[in-house]
Structure 1
């Protein structure tokens, strides 16, 4: 059952993330005007040049940057780099208008079309899945308070050792990935396990940057979700566990107070938590 962390290599994770991104349809061309491209590209290049001038970057440092950027591509780590260090700002811009639940980043480990379990309750796991059982339940409503009986809750997560299926070896394809429908009152209940905190892969270019800068590579334990309903905006979120030592210094800067779970002992084995989702109508 125990997997060596070196098995979930940066190269393998990067290749999986890149392949998943390509299959997601997000590569479709953005219809941006020449003025908008000029605005964004000029701002990016201008900011980079200003850093060089302000920080007196040497040719040796410039060449080290070029070598590192090449290595990011060779290691297939652009999805990881962009999702860890930049996506949280993109997500903030994309959802700043919302009145319902706060969202969070999707991250590099999402795989679409996770199957719906036959009982619409039990998260797909191995027969001997390690970890503390967790009952994750709640209700999905609209911002006007009405329940959304046609809502879906898509859940994916790391296992109790910090590994994601399809991004680490020796895990079933859909382990700890599932899609669930709510009942007529908008309620859902999912039996899963508590995930573990984990380090992003550190044997590639991103790990090289982390080591050189003296940063850490840890993400706090979290559940990933996509919650959808007809006529409403898709909510992508990560929910976090109180007491995790990296809630305050998440490498991906994705933790928000509104996303913290309230963990309570379950009546039987393990823990339980209730978290309601409020979705914004489509604009």
Structure 2
């Protein structure tokens, strides 16, 4: 483990909220009829919860206070990405034939450094964690390799912290973009990430504690893969036998996304291959 200062929910949440708002500016608008349909059903579901559980005024007021705190802590991206995004992702990728998707989460940042088709992620001298070579091929569902595809990669460090969302970590630490070669191949050298708890000192943590849940995510790699003329895939990859693979707080693990690394020939670390298959746009 490295000597780091863990981010508070407020500082991490504020950063996640700012990033989300920057990206959301270009989001498409939704028509009034669809807003009406979705909002009405969402409210009806909450009304049913109130009736089913005979919610009291004390509980209602505690809920209002908690909602206010989520906003004050900047934790809406964290809360929604942990507890709701996995269902949105399932709907979005229901007809996909290629690689299985998973949630993006709140810690993606655009513009990571370019690595070429084979490179090492930016990292600190003596970066903690077992070395890991992650490699594979990007191809179409019809089988042909996709040269020039972008494999946008980010992950937590051995302390479970993300650059740009925790203090004291270099800006692009463990973030990078590989571009596939003429045969669609790429190779990224990194470190094996660690499981981590989502921030628990804010509103989301208060809910988790009150409900008696745990706050752990299994170790994972984040990837976005894109290629002209094909659908972008956003996914996460996990590790066979890893802690909390079976009970991820974000409910994002899928069998097709579990890796089984093997030792490198020289014994200096691990390696694992994973190929990405893209659907046509």
TM-score by length of 2: 0.97
Output the aligned Cα RMSD: 1.1
Counterpart CA distance in 2 for 1:19 and 1:27 is 11
Supply the distance in 1 between the matched residues of 2:154 and 2:278 (Cα, whole angstroms): 19
Aligned to 2:3: 2
> Which position in structure 2 is the counterpart of 1:140?
138
Q: Cα–Cα, structure 1 residues 60 and 84, in superposed 2: closer, same or farther, change >3 Å?
A: same
Contact 1:117 1:124 in 2 (8 A): no
Shift of 1:35: 1.4
Alignment of 1:23-102 (within 5 A): 23-24=22-23, 26-28=24-26, 30-102=28-100
Superimposed CA distance per residue, residues 24-71 of structure 1 (whole angstroms, 9 cap, x where no aligned partner): 2x2335332221111001001100011000110000000000000000
> 1:138, 1:78 → 2: CA distance?
35
Deviation at 1:274, TM superposition (A): 0.3
Which secondary structure state, in structure 1, belongs to the residue aligned with residue 119 of structure 2?
Answer: coil
Distance in 2 between residues matched to 1:27 and 1:57, nearest whole Å:
37
CA contact (8 A) 2:153 2:222 kept: yes
Look up the match of 2:232: 234
1:117 Cα offset (Å)? 3.3
Unaligned runs of 5+ residues in structure 1 are none
Q: Which residue number in structure 2 is paired with residue 183 of structure 1? A: 181
TM norm structure 1: 0.96
What is the deviation of 1:267?
A: 1.2
1:125-162 CA-to-partner distances (Å, cap 9, x unmatched) read 01111110001000000000000002110110000111
In structure 2, the residue matched to 1:223 is: 221
| Per-residue Cα deviation, 1:254-274 (whole angstroms, up to 9, x for no partner) | 000000012111112010000
Partner residue of 2:208 out of 207, 210, 215:
210
